[in-house]
Structure 1
Amino acid sequence: MVMSTFWDVKRRLTDAINSHDLDRVLECFSPDAVVVSPYGVAEGREQIAWMYEQLFTGFSDFTLTTWFEVTGTDIPMVAEWTSTGTHTGPFLLPDGNVLEGTGRRIAVRGTCASFVENGKITTHREYFDQLEMYTQLGMGLVAVDQVPPSDREELAPQPSH
């Protein structure tokens, strides 16, 4: 049996994501893996599955194109990518609301770092500009003073003690 390299695991994950094959996505992760992204923190395969389901439901043609890999190291494996897709279905927003399909296309650049042990990803961290994505979906920032007073408390920064 040929041992797969760390990069083989990472590339299998990209292929599984592009196929929207949730079972294959989860096979790339250890049972107690952690994914950290602008969407939040997912711990374990159940939460990781939920996160990818949201993405595949919201963007039926979601594709991840890796355009740079830092191949001089395996710990962590770092790649830069562009994700593209059409917003065709419901997509969960950071505030808990759902944005129904808009038909708008997104093209968002990002990067990720992955750690692999025993042929499975144990930690995967990805970073991308949420404002870039949400702007492409037709959303924008709202100044706190433009928010109705009843909603301001949850948006205001909390004093540190």
Structure 2
Amino acid sequence: MGQAREVMDRLTDALTAHHDIEVIGELYADDAVAFTPDEGEIRGRDQIVEYWRQMTEAVPEATYETLHSYEVGDTAIDEGFFSGRNTGPLQLPNGETLPPTQKEIRIRGVDIATVADGRIVDYRLYFDEMDFLGQLGLLSDEPS
């Protein structure tokens, strides 16, 4: 196992099994960049940690089921299911906060982390945001 795989596995563990925001911060470089479906481009360790803090508070008992796990050079790639119950407030990109829905979610996603000197410098998360919002019951059934 290489450095990228080790860092990605530690990130997954800190986000799900142990909910350790301090470890999450240690895994990203100061000038890291992340791209997510819900927040777009996030620049800098502090902003990325804040994104993950909000997600772990929204779904505090999340689990991750790995479907595929790869490492190519300095990059680790995971595909799997992020699951849990929304029991905490959910921050929206527009600044609004939604109360917990108490709904279960199971979202298939792909994470790609490029690592240099033991820290993530480039992180990309892909998941179907409409599926996520639909599972939370936040989409209207009425056509617009």
TM-score (norm 1): 0.80
Cα-Cα RMSD:
1.9
Say which structure is richer in strand. Answer: 2
User: What is the alpha-carbon distance in structure 2 between the residues aligned to residue 76 and residue 6 of structure 1?
Assistant: 5
Match of 2:28 in 1: 29
User: What is the alpha-carbon distance in structure 1 between the residues aligned to residue 35 and residue 108 of structure 2?
Assistant: 16
Match of 2:139 in 1: 140
Q: Tell me by how many angstroms 1:68 deviates.
A: 0.5
Report sequence identity in percent: 31
Q: For 1:102-160, what per-residue CA distance to the aligned partner results, in whole angstroms no more than 9, with x for missing partners?
A: 110000000021111111110000100001110000022565xx4xxxxxxxxxxxxxx
SS of alignment partner, residue 138 of structure 1: coil
Match of 2:113 in 1: 114
Name the amino acid aligned to 2:9.
Answer: R
Q: Identify unmatched segments of 5+ residues in structure 2.
A: none
Query: Is the 1:7–1:74 Cα contact (8 Å) retained in structure 2?
Result: no
Match of 1:50 in 2: 50
Match of 2:5 in 1: 7
TM-score (norm 2): 0.88
User: What is the alpha-carbon distance in structure 1 between the residues aligned to residue 65 and residue 28 of structure 2?
Assistant: 20
Query: Is the 1:38–1:126 Cα contact (8 Å) retained in structure 2?
Result: yes
Q: Tell me by how many angstroms 1:79 deviates.
A: 1.2
User: What is the alpha-carbon distance in structure 2 between the residues aligned to residue 20 and residue 39 of structure 1?
Assistant: 21
User: What is the alpha-carbon distance in structure 1 between the residues aligned to residue 54 and residue 48 of structure 2?
Assistant: 10
